Amino acid sequence: MNFNNTLPVILSLIPLALGTMWKLSNGPSTIHKSMGLIVIGVLAGGLVYIQSALGAEPSLLVLASAVLLSSFCAILSLKNSQQSSMTYASIMIVLGLGLGTLLSQTIASRIFMCGLLGFIAMSLNREQATTYRTKIIFLHLTLAIIFSLSSIFIGESLQLYANLFLAVTFLPLAPFHLPFVGTIKNAKETLSSFWVVVWLIIGLGELNKIYSALTPEMLFILSLLALASAVYASLASLGQRLNSLFVASATVANVALIWGLLEIFPGFQKWGIPFGITLAFVMSGISLAFSFIQIRYGWKTLGILPGLASPMPRFGVAMVLLVSFALFLPLFSTFSGLMIMPTIVTHNIEIVMVSLLFLVIWLGGGWYFIKMLHQTAFGEARSDVSYSDLRLTEIVAVSVLLLGAAYSGMIH
C-alpha cells in the first residue's frame, strides 16, 4: 500500500485512537475539548494536503470537509462537564470512523464502515431496552455489516444491491430509517447534531458510488419509495413530542427529495451532493439548538418551554433563521437540478411523481416546522424558569452551520 492510500487511513486513526483512549480514561473535559479542536485543525490541514498534493476526488473531500466542520461545531459548543467528557470521546470516535469510511480505499473503507456500524450497535445496546423495534434495528445493522464486507468480494450485480442497501440506510428512506432514528434519539448532548451530518454524508458517498449503475426501473421504484417515505415521515414529524425524534423524522422527509429527483435530474454530484450537505447542516443546526436547551434545563419534549425568543433572543433568532432555511430546502435541490438539466423529453409520469414529492415535502415541512417554531420560540415564557441565552461558542457553532448550508445550497 503506497503513501496515497495510507495517508487517509492514518488521518482517520488519529481521532479514533484519541476518542478510544478518552473512553477508557475519564480525564478533564477542558483538556478533551482543546485536544479535540487541535486534532480537527490537523485533519483540516491533512485534507488540504490530500487535495493539493495527491489530487483526490473533489466530491469526497467536500463530504469529508462537511464532517470535519460539523465535528468542530459539536465540540466547540459543548459545555465542559463530567458527562461531556464521554461526549467528546464519542465525537472523536465517530469522526475517525466516518472519515475512514469516506476517504479510504475499498477494503479499508469497508472496515471503517463496519466499525462505525458496530459502534452504533453498542451505543444503542447501552441506551435502549430490548423491544421489538430494537431487535429490528440490530438485525438491520447486522445486515449492513454483512453487506458492507461482502460487497468487496461478490459480483458486480450483487454488489450493486448490497451498496444500494447501505445507501438507503445512511441516506435513510422508510422503512430503512430505524437505525438513523434510533441513533439520533439516543445520542447525548451535541453528539446528536454531529450524527445527523455524519450519517447523511456517508449516505451521499454511497449513493455517489452507485448512481451511474442505477437502471431506469430501479430509479422508478426508488421514486415511489421516496414518495411513500416523504408522506410517512412528514406525518410522523407532526406527531413527534421528543425534539430528537422530530429532527430525525424531518430529516427523513427531506432526504426523500434526493431519491425522488434522481430519475429526472442528471449529474448527481452537481446537485445531489450540495443539496445533501445543505440539508445535513440545517438539520444539524436545529438539533444543536435543541441540545443547548436540553443541556440547560433537561428539556426533551416540544412545548414544555414555549416563548424562548423573549428571554433568550439570541436563541430565538437562531431558531427563526434555521427554520426559515429549512422551509426553503426543496427549492435548493430543484433549482440546482434545473440549472444542469439538459433539454430532454420528460415523461408525464416523472413530472407527476416529482410534483407530488415536492408538494408533500414543501407543504408538510411548512406545517411541521412552523408548528415546532411556535412550540419553542413564540408564545408566553414560563415564569418559573431561570433563562440563560446562548453563549458565544454556541452562537459561533450555529452560525458556522448556517454559513456552510448557505454556501453549499446557494453558491457551490
Full-model pTM: 0.92
Q: Characterize 54-82 residue by residue with b for buried, 16 or more Cβ atoms within 10 angstroms of its Cβ, and e for exposed.
A: eebeebbbbbbbbbbbbbbbbbbbbbeee
Q: What is the pLDDT of residue 345?
A: 43
Render 291-311 in DSSP notation, one character per residue: HHHHHHH---BTTSS--TTTT
Which band of pLDDT confidence, cut at 50, 70 and 90, is reported for residue 24? confident
Which band of pLDDT confidence, cut at 50, 70 and 90, is reported for residue 240? confident
Q: What is the pLDDT of residue 89?
A: 92
- Could you read off the pLDDT of 43-74 as tens digits, one per residue? 999 998 888 766 667 888 899 999 999 999 99
- Among the ranges 210-214, 325-329, 335-339, 344-348, which has the highest mean pLDDT value? 210-214
Q: Is residue 115 part of a domain?
A: no
Question: Does 179 score more than 70 pLDDT?
Answer: yes
Q: Is residue 289 part of a domain?
A: yes
Q: What is the pLDDT of residue 310?
A: 86
Q: Is residue 118 part of a domain?
A: no
Nine-digit cell string for 161 = 444491491
Q: Is residue 51 part of a domain?
A: no
Which band of pLDDT confidence, cut at 50, 70 and 90, is reported for residue 343? very low
Which domain does 274 fall in, by range?
215-412
Render 369-404 in DSSP notation, one character per residue: HHHHHHHHTSSPPPTTS---PPPHHHHHHHHHHHHH
CA distance 355 to 261: 10
Domain count across the chain: 1
CA distance 191 to 288: 9
Q: Is residue 27 part of a domain?
A: no
**What percentage of the chain carries pLDDT values higher than 90?**
48
Residues near 375 by beta carbon (within 8 Å), at least 6 away in sequence: 302, 303, 306
Q: What is the pLDDT of residue 299?
A: 81
Q: Is residue 182 part of a domain?
A: no
Question: Does 409 score more than 80 pLDDT?
Answer: no
Q: Is residue 335 part of a domain?
A: yes
Comparing C-alpha atoms, which of 409, 157, 194 is closest to residue 287? 194
Which residue shows C-alpha cell 467528557? 85
Amino acid at 71: S
Question: Does 304 score more than 50 pLDDT?
Answer: yes
Comparing C-alpha atoms, which of 364, 378, 383, 386 is closest to residue 303? 378
Comparing C-alpha atoms, which of 221, 218, 332 is closest to residue 271? 332
Note whether 18 and 76 are within 8 A (CB). Answer: no
Question: Does 294 score more than 70 pLDDT?
Answer: yes
Q: Is residue 231 part of a domain?
A: yes
* pLDDT, the chain, mean: 86
In terms of DSSP H, where are the helices of 151-267? 156-170, 178-186, 191-210, 216-239, 243-261
Question: Does 384 score more than 80 pLDDT?
Answer: no
Q: Which residue has the higher pLDDT, 128 or 96?
A: 96
